Copies of this chain bind each other. A is one copy, B any other.
Amino acid sequence: MSRTSLPATLKLGFLGAGQLARMSALEAFRFGIQVAVFSDRTENEPVQFMTPYSTSGSFDSVDDMVEFAKGCDVITLENEFISSDILKEVRDKSGTPIYPSPETFALIENKLIEKQTFEDAGIPVTPYSLIKDELDLKDFGEEHGWPYLLKSSKGGYDGYGNETVKNLESAKEAFDNLGGNAGQDIIAEAFVDFTNELAVQVARNETGIAVYPCCETVQEDHICVAVLSPAPVDSHFQERAQELAVKAMEAIDAKGIIAFEFFLTEDGEILLNESAPRPHNSGHYTIEGAVASQFENHVRAVLDLPLGSTKLNKPAVAMINLLGTHKRPAETDHIKEALETENGHLHVYGKIDSKVGRKMAHYTLLGDNLEETYKTAMHVTRNIEI
């Protein structure tokens, strides 16, 4: 099943045109592969500046996407905004394969099903429950303690679609805000006392499986601000997270790249928190940090190419997310120090408009000592404004 040939006309289609598709597209180009992009916005999406094959339409319209898919050899995802049912229809009507497959995505698109899938595979997950009504809200608080998290079972990311609830009153309000009274499935999730948030990216196809080192994601207000690799935790925790990620990958029979996020609890347990069927912010550091990046292995995986090595190029890698600091036309300012730093690599996503907190760029620094590398990376990017 391994592809041994790259025809010059091979075209990889992305559903979604943001920075994840953009960085994947750069790797597709490296292999001489053409890139087409389907966006739900008409213009100014990051990948739209990088290809003549740009189409706009609705992520809810099978017809729009079928038309697009017919012009591509393989379709892949960069977000979780299209339901697996629609993806199945697009694939079946266009005849173009989609990876990760709609069947894989169906097992993780809904947070409830995701947790059940991984639990069934013997992977520890954070305590959760489907919430139907006020009684469920109350019961969950009594069993697992307040505060806890309420999550819409679909579509949440970067803290959107999540609310922390402190008591029954705020829980009822959040349940309503998240669409619980309008038919949206809502799940409650216990707060876990964790010491670290970890992540592992895994690429897989018929040729094999490639597991990245276990990294730590540093979060502020549910937004990832930095990633450190390898994670500064005992190596047996790293290995445990990698093992669970492989197990999870097999549980959903994934082809492509999937990112798994974990909690390392105060009791030394590793719990699977979330998964994403695409390159992930936690893996941006692999562009320079690993021999083959998550984006390269994304492309390799969905095109049936042998997977590349996930080994680190240096003992320590720190990645700093550069979030929007202003609401203005995008402009990355005060980059001199970052660019002058040896082994530092700046990536700007090509978004036209900046908003406060929006993921606009990132900076990766390679070094020999993790603490020092992280410190330097923070220091040389401290004045950057976007």
Contact = CB atoms under 8 A, between A and B. Distances in A.
Contacts of A351: 8, 32
Contacts of A332: 5-6, 32
Interface stretch (A95-103, A180-188, A301-309): A301-309
A235 interface: no
Interface string A15-30: 0000000100010011
A49 B52 contact: yes
Given A29-B26, A339-B306, A34 B8 contact: no
A143 interface: no
A2 interface: yes
Interface stretch (A134-142, A149-157, A342-350): A342-350
Interface in A298-317: 300, 305-306, 308-309, 311, 313
B29 A335 contact: no
Contact of A51 (B26, B51, B335): B51
A348 B52 contact: no
Contacts of A29: 22, 26, 49-50, 350
Interface string A362-385: 000000000000000000000000
A350 B8 contact: yes
A361 B32 contact: yes
A330 B7 contact: yes
A361 B5 CA distance: 13
Interface residues of A, number: 50
B311 A342 contact: yes
Interface string A258-283: 00000000000000000000000000
Contact of A305 (B8, B49, B339): B339
A334 B6 CA distance: 9
Q: Which of A6, A291, A336, A346 has the most CB of B within 10 A?
A: A6
A350 B32 contact: yes
Interface in A166-194: none
Interface in A52-84: 52, 54
A48 B333 CA distance: 30
B51 A4 contact: no
A340 interface: yes
A31 interface: yes
A276 to B, nearest CB: 23
Contacts of A121: none
Given A29-B26, A34-B350, A334 B50 contact: no
Contacts of A347: 30-32
B32 A348 contact: yes
B300 A7 contact: no
B361 A291 contact: no
Contacts of A33: 348, 350
Contact of A329 (B7, B51, B54): B7
A361 B30 CA distance: 10
A274 B351 CA distance: 41
Given A32-B332, A32-B361, A309 B50 contact: no
Interface of A: 2, 4-9, 22, 26, 29-35, 48-52, 54, 291, 300, 305-306, 308-309, 311, 313, 329-336, 339-340, 342-343, 346-352, 361
9 contacts: A7-B330, A8-B329, A8-B348, A9-B329, A29-B49, A29-B350, A32-B332, A34-B350, A300-B339
